[in-house]
Each structure stands twice: as C-alpha cells, then as structure tokens.
C-alpha cells in the first residue's frame, strides 16, 4: 500500500538555520525521514541507474561561492532527454512519462488537508533514478492528469510548502521548463539535499512590485526573486504563477529554485532576520531556449547550476574551472542585459495590474 503523507500549515517548520542544523543522517521530522529512508532503501535495492556515493565537492574561490561537484555518471548514464520543440509542447502519452515508471520508484504521495478534511491535491514523490545529490526525488502532481511541463499554481505552492515542511536548510526544490533542460514533458519538480549554503539564499535584491513581493536579484546572473513566509504561501504562489504564465505565453524558457533564505532587505525588521531561515526564496531565471541537440559544456545550465550548485561531467573541468569560467558558461544561456531589462519592465507592469 502506498505511503501517504497528509499535512497542514501546522507542520511547517518555523525556522531553520545553518548554524544549528542537524546533519543529513539525523532524522528530525517525519517529512525528511520519509524521503531520506525511502530514498536510501531504493538505492540499496539498486533501483537507480548508478550508485551515488559521497560526491567530490569544492567551493570555487570568488564572490559567487559556486559549489562544484564531480558527478560523471549523471552525465553519461541518465535517460536520453525527449525531443523538445516548444515551451508549450503538448503532453504525448506515447513518450516516456511518469505513468510508465517502475511503481517501486514511488516513495510516497503527499496531500495538504484543508478545512472539512478535504484534500487540496495529490503530489506523488518518486526517486530520480539519475540523482544529482542525496535524496534527489521528483515531485509529480497527480501523474494521471498527464499535464505537460508547464507550472501550475498548485505545483508552485507544493514546491514552496515542501521546503517549509523540511527541517533541513539543505533541502531544495527546483523546476526546468521545456527549452530549459527539462528532459521529460510531464509536469514535475525536483527536490534534493545539498549540505552547503548557496549565495542565492542571502543575496540582496531590488524591489520592483511591492504589492506582489517581486524583486530583481543583485550580484548574481540575471534573475527575479520572490520571498514568502509560512503565512503568505498562497498569495506568493499566485504571483509566481503570473510570472511563469507570462513567460510561457511568450515562449521564454525558465528555471526556478526554491530554498530557505533570508528575507530581502526591505522585509528585515530586526538584526536576527539577517540569519533567519523562516521563509522561502523563489528565484526565477528567464533564459535562452535550447531545443534539439544540446550544446555540450562542462555542466548543463539548469535549475541547480543557476542557483550556484554545479554538477560537473568530467574530472578535468571539475578540477580546473574558475568562477569566471562558470560565469561565462552560464551567461551564454541567459538573456542579454538589454533583453532582461525589457522583460523586467514588462513583468513589473504585468504584475502591477
């Protein structure tokens, strides 16, 4: 019988911070325990394409603090990506999708209880058989609905709430649109643990639309930012969805990353807020679409790479890459400064309506 995890906002973890975190081997709450135990069991049962041990890791010198990891097997043994021709490509039941997986890959399903004991939606959580890092799983909104890889408000909210349910700041969630290195056209998000802080969790941001909490990231390759505490998830999820709907309608590929982080400066009310992990940062990167044959580089530029986590495909690049090398690769996949500025104004006007 499939394990079910029913939660409410009372299960959200009020605050986490790196200075007091538990190691990943310590189960601190039921959400993390279900993922970690279930993931380890399936690794032991050899349901993955390769065994993921402790990955070689180094922090690249420089202000961006990129976290580089050597993960050769993900580059060589992952499932061949589907042919993607459009960001709005329709779901094709003949192609691989998550209704065709080995049922043993499913860890559990999660549902949020609403008033009257009704359930708001079903999210199936299964292992990613080509893992990036420890606990790498896929969050799939009811697979039987056969939704294409286009974000919905439910998927965004579930991504935010998954981060809030974890007591570990190491747990992150992300999304690749079609044309932004999504390899399966069936709606899903990625969740995994990375036991390193990322600069994106504390970067300053420029406020663009106060009513929607919409910011532009500063000091990092061009992206936008939202922030929410546990009380404002619904409101922020709607605003994020407004942005992603806007991007999809204009065929602009995009990546998202959800992580615990400090509030933007205008929301900091007291000194301890500078170190707070009460809320969730949601970064959104519009980017150049990649269709057909993908350009080979030292690493693919998708959700985690844009956030500063770099799984390298070969040892030479892993050992020799500098921050400048990484930034040069990443910028090839992002909009130009002029294009980003135009889009920033368009989104600010769109959200202000």
Euclidean distance between CA atoms 347 and 344, whole angstroms: 5
Residue 272, burial from CB neighbour count under 10 angstroms (0-12, 13-18, 19+)? exposed
Whether the CA torsion 81, 295, 254, 192 is positive or negative: it is: positive
Give the pair of three-digit tokens for residue 66: 């990129």
User: Could you give the angle at which helices 233-249 and 337-352 cross, rounded to 10 degrees?
Assistant: 130
Give the pair of three-digit tokens for residue 267: 């929301």
Q: Nearest Cα to 219, choosing from 59, 62, 351?
A: 62
Contact, 115 vs 168, CB < 8 A? no
Dihedrals phi, psi of 192, to nearest 5 degrees: -165, 170
Contacts of 10 (CB under 8 A, 6+ apart): none
Q: Nearest Cα to 67, choosing from 198, 214, 259?
A: 198
Does the active-site annotation cover 274? no
Contact, 309 vs 69, CB < 8 A? yes
Contact, 121 vs 111, CB < 8 A? yes
Using DSSP's 3-state secondary structure scheme, residue 189 falls into strand
Q: What order do you get walking across the sheet with 171-176 strand by strand?
A: 4-7, 106-113, 119-127, 137-141, 189-193, 171-176, 253-261, 279-287, 224-228, 214-217, 205-209
Q: How, if at all, do strands 309-312 and 67-70 pair?
A: parallel
Euclidean distance between CA atoms 71 and 77, whole angstroms: 11
Of 51, 136, 145, 188, the catalytic one is 188
- Catalytic machinery residues: 188
């Amino acid at each position: 019988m499939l394990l079910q995890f029913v939660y409410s906002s009372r299960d959200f973890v009020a605050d986490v911070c790196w200075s007091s975190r538990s190691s990943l081997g310590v189960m601190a709450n039921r959400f993390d325990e279900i993922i970690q135990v279930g993931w380890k069991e399936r690794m032991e049962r050899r349901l993955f394409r390769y065994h993921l041990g402790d990955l070689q890791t180094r922090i690249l010198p420089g202000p961006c603090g990129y976290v580089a990891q050597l993960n050769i097997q993900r580059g060589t043994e992952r499932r061949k990506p589907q042919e993607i021709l459009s960001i709005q490509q329709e779901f094709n039941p003949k192609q691989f999708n998550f209704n065709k997986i080995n049922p043993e890959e499913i860890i559990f399903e999660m549902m949020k209880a609403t008033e009257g004991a009704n359930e708001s939606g079903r999210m199936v959580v299964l292992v990613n058989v080509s893992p990036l890092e420890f606990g790498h799983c896929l969050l799939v909104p009811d697979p039987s609905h056969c939704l294409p890889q286009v974000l919905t408000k439910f998927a965004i909210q579930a991504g935010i709430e998954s981060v809030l349910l974890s007591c570990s700041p190491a747990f992150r969630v992300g999304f690749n649109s079609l044309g932004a290195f999504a390899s399966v056209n069936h709606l899903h998000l990625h969740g995994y643990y990375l036991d390193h802080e990322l600069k994106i969790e504390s970067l300053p941001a420029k406020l663009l639309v106060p009513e929607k909490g919409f910011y532009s990231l500063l000091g990092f390759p061009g992206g936008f930012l939202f922030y929410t505490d546990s009380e404002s998830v619904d409101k922020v999820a709607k605003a994020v969805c407004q942005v992603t709907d806007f991007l999809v309608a204009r065929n602009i590929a995009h990546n998202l990353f959800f992580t615990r982080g400090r509030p933007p400066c205008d929301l900091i009310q007291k000194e301890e807020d500078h170190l707070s992990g009460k809320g969730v940062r949601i970064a959104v990167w519009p980017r150049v679409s990649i269709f057909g044959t993908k350009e080979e580089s030292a690493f693919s530029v998708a959700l985690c790479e844009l956030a500063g986590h770099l799984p390298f495909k070969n040892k030479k690049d892993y050992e020799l890459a500098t921050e400048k090398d990484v930034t040069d690769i990443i910028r090839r996949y992002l909009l130009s400064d002029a294009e980003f500025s135009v889009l920033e104004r368009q989104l600010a006007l769109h959200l202000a309506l």
